[in-house]
Amino acid sequence: MKKSPIVTVVAIGIGAALFFVLARFVAIPSPVPNTNISIQYGLLAFMAALFGPVAGLLIGLIGHALADFSFGWGIWWSWVIASAVFGGLMGIAARKLRLEEGEFSKKDLVGFLIAVVIAHAAAWFVIAPVLDIVIYAEPANKVFVQGLFAGVSNIVTSGIIGSLLCAAYAAAKPKKGSLKEEE
């Protein structure tokens, strides 16, 4: 379905607000002490799959930047950009999905999961550590280990939560061709 540009503008706004709320107020304790599971990337994966790469990129960028602002430690640009890259890549990789038409088959699920893994790997194993080194001159092994942890936990959470969201959304939509014109 072709979306009007206004829908994209609103989707970016609401998506960024959702991303912010999940990042800022939803704390699910993880097994590692003092770290929380970031479920906002599951939401971002879903929104990017539904509204496309531009929306994904900007939701990641705006949502993460606003969250950083409200924590008060300034904007940690390298990770903000990594979030944006994840959203954008996810939108490109998942453009074949037809969630709007109520379809989310096994094959779609596998495609979605592969997209999540690739997009997170690019964002957290490459973009975030490299930018950390370029911008903040931090030691390489530290930022790559950090990126590895962040990436793996993000893959797991957004894989689970993103696909649950996709399935729930597709189930709530009437299937294409489910209504027939009366002869």
Contact residues for other proteins (CB under 8 A)? Answer: 4-7, 9-14, 16-18, 20-22, 24-26, 28-31, 37, 39, 42-43, 46, 58, 62-63, 66, 69-75, 77, 135-142, 145-146, 157, 160-161, 164-165, 168-169, 172
Q: How far is the CB of 24 from other proteins (least distance, A)?
A: 8
Written as one letter, the residue type at 126 is V
Q: Which residues contact 155 (CB under 8 A, 6 or more apart)?
A: 116, 117, 120, 121
Task: Report which residue type is found at 21.
Answer: V
Q: Is 16 strand, coil or helix? A: helix
Nearer to other proteins, 57 or 85 (CB): 57
Decide whether 114 or 136 has the Cβ nearer to other proteins: 136
Nearer to other proteins, 83 or 157 (CB): 157
Nearer Cβ to other proteins (66/116): 66
3-class DSSP assignment, residue 36: strand
For residues 143 and 182, which CB has a smaller minimum distance to other proteins in the complex? 143
Residue with tokens 């531009």: 54
Contact in structure between 56 and 87 (CB atoms under 8 Å): yes
Q: How far is the CB of 126 from other proteins (least distance, A)?
A: 18
The span from the CA of 163 to the CA of 165, in Å, is 5
Least separation in angstroms between residue 20's CB and other proteins is 6
Q: Computed over its alpha carbons, how large is the radius of gyration of the chain?
A: 17
Report, in Å, the least distance between residue 77 CB and other proteins: 7
